[in-house]
Structure 1
Amino acid sequence: MKLKYIIYACCINSILLVGSCTKLEENFKGELQEGTSNVDPAGLLITAYNSLNTPYQQDQRWVMQEISTDAAIAPTRGGDWDDNGMHRAIHLHSWNADNGYMNNTFVSLGTVIYNATIVLNYNPNAQQAAEARFVRSLAMFDMLDLYGVVPLRQGESLADFRIAPEVLKAQEAIDYIVKELNEIINSLPDNGPAEAYVANKNAAKTLLMKVYLNKGAFLNRQTPTFAAEDMNQVIRLSKEISSSGKYSISSPGKYFDNFAPDNDTKSTENIYTLFNKNGERGGNVDRTWNTIAHYNLNPGGWNGWCTLSDYYDKFSANDERKGIYYNYAADTTSNKSKNFRRQNVGFFAGQQYNWSTNKPLMARNPATAPLSFSREVTIRTSGATLETAGIRPMKYAFDYAVTGQRNNDWVVFRYADVLLMEAEAILRGGTGSPAEATALVNSIRTNRGVSLFTSLTLDELLDERARELYWEGWRRQDLIRFGKFLLAWQEKQADPDPKTLVYPIPSQQIAVNPNLIQHNGY
């Protein structure tokens, strides 16, 4: 049976949206279509869950949501990170329909949608069906957010790959997702943070909140509107999540519990996560270190991505989220055992230190240069700053206790985001007072070690979302909703054309699905 699942996972990317397939793929599809006796829906459900890892865990979807903003940049460093300008184009908003991220992310999210749909064909029990429909709804939400449309195989097109998938437009996709989530909530488990990696009632409610909050932006990206009834749905759902009693904002000093190797047992905030366990299943979470860490750090990495100084400056000096020494069980370095207490999570700026000797680190080339991460970074780095330009965010504490796949579950939804969405819905015309919105945000800030707001504007709320949710994959969506995605920022000029508010449909997909129509301007 495991071999069948491996074949299935390998084949599915090529048959998802394309009309033709190999003999192996045809035989395997035929086996799936013979009946339910040979296929375990529980195994198919795991496949659906696992297929979220690639787009989410600081890879495809993540790049399109973060590198396209003021929060992250992937500069070319000599011969590294050029990739034919693919990363630079995302940050500069100069992408086109042939950019590799367009097609890779489209296929990955489409794979999730297909994998989840297949579960429903093989007699799942009520909870399994509800979990699969949640996973599908999450991927559909991301597809809608990024591309403005959602291709969907169901009915005849699910059974016959010669039939092109139908394509849901924005309002149709919104209606579909809302209907799905409302229908499945009662069949989902009532899990809290300890089992956040299983689709659950509050995860479905959080996704519904995001649908209602972003609905106006999905329907009119250049001039979003926010209907009071949608904002009240956001507020209602947030209060239901709070009243469940399952979540609380992390205590002072515990913010990084949400991202630790044992975050499944430590976090008080995590509502939905992606499962990672060494030797069992998961993958790609290592990218959170590899993409930003210099070769000489421990963990070492590929010396690439960083944040921008204007974004870094949104944090006050005493903000825990900016970076601390985090004492956690999976830290087996001398930084812990010898009590060096060097910062090991958050934003790394300035001189870096060896966590085994406590001595200053040096760069690799030239080896005589201090490894000191500078505030300044350009889209192309060169010369003395090639290795050291840019402040590096490391949000997930490294799991030194294992070799191989790390155990940090990837965070998709957190309780802090729920409260911030509720505050935003109030400010956008939902039921509640400005004082209530301010109190919700202050309930987070008081535990992060920063001063409290006396009042709250939408601009201040956007900055608070930047501080609280940095590098979690929501920045582009936030900037669009707040009307700021087209503005200029460091290493990016103002967008001359609002077409960039939605990504182009990949050229490869238009070639094989006549139901897909390219957006204006691409």
Structure 2
Amino acid sequence: MKTINFKKVLIGGLSVMFMASCTDLVNDEKDSIVRANEGGGGFTPGNPTELLVSAYKDLSAYTDQANIYALGQHPTAEMIPPTRGVDWGDNGVWRTLDQHTWDATHSGIINAWNQLNQRVYKCNEIIASNPSAAEKAEAQFLRALNMFHVMDYWGQVPFREVTDGVDVNPKVLTRSEAFDFIVSDLEAALPGLENRGPAPLQATASKAAANFLLAKLYLNKAVYTAASPAGPYSFDNGDMAKVISYVDAIIADGYEISDDFFGNFTADATTETILNSAEGTPQNRWMMTLHYDQNPSGWNGFTTLADFYDTFSDEDIRKGIPAAADGSNMSGIGHGFLIGQQYKDDGTPITDSRSQQLLKFTRDVSLAGTPTDKGIRVIKYHPAMAGKYILMRFAEAYLMKAEAMMRSGDTAGALAMINDLRAKRQASALSSLDENSLFDEIGREMYWEGGKRTTEVRFGKFTTGTGALIQDDYTVLYPIPSPAIVSNPNLTQNEGY
């Protein structure tokens, strides 16, 4: 089996550099190479059912704390990755995300590019392998989902047909071309997808999931089709009407805002879960923030910032629920924001085993030289009751509809929606609504769920954060990884890099 040109065989613009957490991708790529080289270099169809199962397993990449998730969350005002002694130094990969000082050799950028583009190609293989109508629709949805993130993060999308020879450099879709391609995929997929209402496990594509992604596409269309990636953006009323229509279709399937905010992130979640990953558990979300002396012992990593914490009123249930500390396993962990003295499961105050001081999480936190107790920790998925990792939640669709209403002139209707949501979250009603207050409300509902960067870009706030050393407009797009630029001359490096 020849492997010397495997970059071109697979997607022809990607690096071969992978982190240890992504070793599954090496096997996937090898399988793709074998199929692409059988029969003298032509594509040989595989088993579409088996390939589709594998494509769904690949959604586990979204549950990692690095790569895809990190690019969507770390450069924002919701999260900071403190370096504590030598912990979380990692050659600066986290600090550069926080400070917007990344470049085309950043390992997280390379890995995310590889993961997403490899998954797009795998879906191409499924579609070319004589799938059933339902399998084709699901593959089109998954291709659209992964391509969406490539378009969103990098503004251009390499695309290799399975029939392309190994010496063919993949064509590259512009951002607007990729937008049209993704919309076409989803519109073609919709009739063949299952019409499914709320359930705790939503591990396969459905009409609601496709409508969710279509709503997100049209909400951000002004960004993806703007003359400049950093704007200004002009939101078209027709696009906003489509957002509302797609969300209304989700509502018609029975989805609604849950009365139990943190219940959304448990095994009993029902009314809000549109799509989740069946693979594993969302343990990275608590491990990446909990202190090593808590139960479970965490990695003592990421925290939120006091400025974001202060956007919550005390009565807002989303701010958190204190730990029960009733003696049951992991009951010493609260929900939401963990601040102040932390406790063992039996209610005994925790002492930091390194400093020998009481473990009290503080409001203040710095990026480097940070003591082990600094920073407010965040728990949405509680380790004692977590369900599967959520990729699409109805509350986000609900907020997309409210935003579309406001942007198209119905501010009163949007305010009514926001206040209905706030009532569910035990927060007092807002008296008025503008872009800033809506932006804050989206943050209060969707914090740490991986999409903050996209929201900040759309609202024109991505380059204004106090933690960013570089606030230049070009940072609204990530650089094309250097190995990809070298291997595919059809790619052009994004401005500024």
The one of 371, 383, 398 equivalent to 2:383 is: 398
Cα distance per residue 1:260-287 (max 9 Å; x no partner): 1x14xx3211111111xxxxxx147321
CA shift in 2, pair 1:14/1:469, >3 Å:
farther
Please tell me whether the aligned partners of residues 52 and 112 of structure 1 are also in contact (alpha carbons under 8 angstroms): no
Asked whether 1:268 is paired with 2:265, we answer no
2:347 corresponds to 1:372:
no
Once the two structures are superposed, residues 94-113 of structure 1 have per-residue CA deviations (whole angstroms, 9 ceiling, x without a partner) of 11111111100000111111
Q: TM-score, normalised by structure 2?
A: 0.90
Q: How far is the alpha carbon of 1:156 from its aligned partner?
A: 3.0
Q: Is 1:46 the equivalent of 2:43?
A: no
CA distance in structure 2 between the partners assigned to 1:152 and 1:351 by the alignment: 52
Match of 1:381 in 2: 369
Whole-angstrom distance in 2 between the partners of 1:443 and 1:196: 26
Q: Rate the CA distance shift 1:56–1:416 in 2: closer, same or farther, 3 A.
A: same
- 2:368 matched to 1:363? no
User: CA shift at 1:235, angstroms?
Assistant: 1.2
| Equivalent AA in structure 1 for residue 142 of structure 2 | V
Which residue in 1 is equivalent to 2:491? 516
147-156 or 84-93, which deviates more: 147-156
Aligned-residue identity in percent: 36
Deviation at 1:20, TM superposition (A): 11
Pick aligned residue for 2:401 from 422, 429, 434: 422
Distance in 1, matches of 2:38 and 2:162, equals 18
Q: In 2 relative to 1, CA 390–113 (structure 1 residues): closer, same or farther, beyond 3 Å?
A: same
Return the alpha-carbon distance in structure 2 between the equivalents of residues 70 and 20 of structure 1.
30
| SS of aligned partner of 1:193 | coil
Q: Tell me the SS of whatever aligns to 2:76.
A: coil
**Cα deviation per residue 1:112-170 (whole Å; 9 max; x = unaligned)?**
1112221112221111111111011011111111001111112532xx33322211101
Residue type at the aligned position of 2:277 = L
- Long gaps (5+) in structure 2: 1-5, 17-28
**What SS does the corresponding residue of 1:492 show, helix, strand or coil?**
coil
SS at match of 2:94: helix
Match of 1:229, SS state, is helix
Give how far 1:381 is off.
Answer: 2.6
Change (3 A) 1:380 1:190: same
* SS of corresponding position for 1:124: coil
| Alignment match, 1:458 | 435
Partner secondary structure for residue 315 of structure 2 = coil
Partner secondary structure for residue 271 of structure 1: strand
CA distance in 2, matches of 1:324, 1:23: 47
Query: Which is further off, 186-195 or 208-217?
Result: 186-195
1:157-306 aligned at under 5 Å gives the runs 157=164, 160-194=165-199, 195-220=201-226, 221-222=229-230, 223-244=232-253, 246-251=254-259, 254-260=260-266, 262-263=267-268, 266-275=269-278, 282-283=279-280, 285-306=282-303
Residues of 2 paired with 1:412 and 1:63: CA distance? 15
Mapped contact 1:167–1:516 kept (Cα < 8 A): yes
CA 1:163–1:113 in structure 2 vs 1: closer, same or farther (change >3 Å)?
same
Unaligned 5+ residue runs, structure 1?
1-10, 276-281, 328-332, 401-406
- Aligned partners of 2:277 and 2:389 also within 8 Å: yes
Question: Which residue in the other structure is 1:492 paired with?
Answer: 468
Out of 318, 322, 336, the position equivalent to 1:346 is 336
Residue type of the partner of 1:215? K
Aligned position for 1:100:
107
CA deviation digits over 1:13-58, x for unaligned, max 9?
Answer: 994436999998754534596755xx43121111111212214443
Secondary structure of the equivalent of 1:77? coil
Offset, 1:225: 1.2
Deviations 1:309-362 (A, max 9, x none): 1011111112111111588xxxxx85448xx9755221111110001x210001
1:392 Cα offset (Å): 0.8
Aligned position for 1:447: 424
Correspondence 1:303-318 to 2 at 5 A = 303-318=300-315
1:156 to 154, 163, 180: 163
1:323 equivalent to 2:320? Answer yes
Q: Secondary structure at the residue paired with 1:258?
A: helix
The one-letter amino acid of 2:447's match is: Y
Contact 2:80–2:305 (Cα < 8 Å) also in 1: yes
Structure 1 residue aligned with 2:482: 507
- Taking only aligned residues, the RMSD between alpha carbons, in angstroms, comes to 2.6
**What is the number of equivalent residue pairs in this alignment?**
475
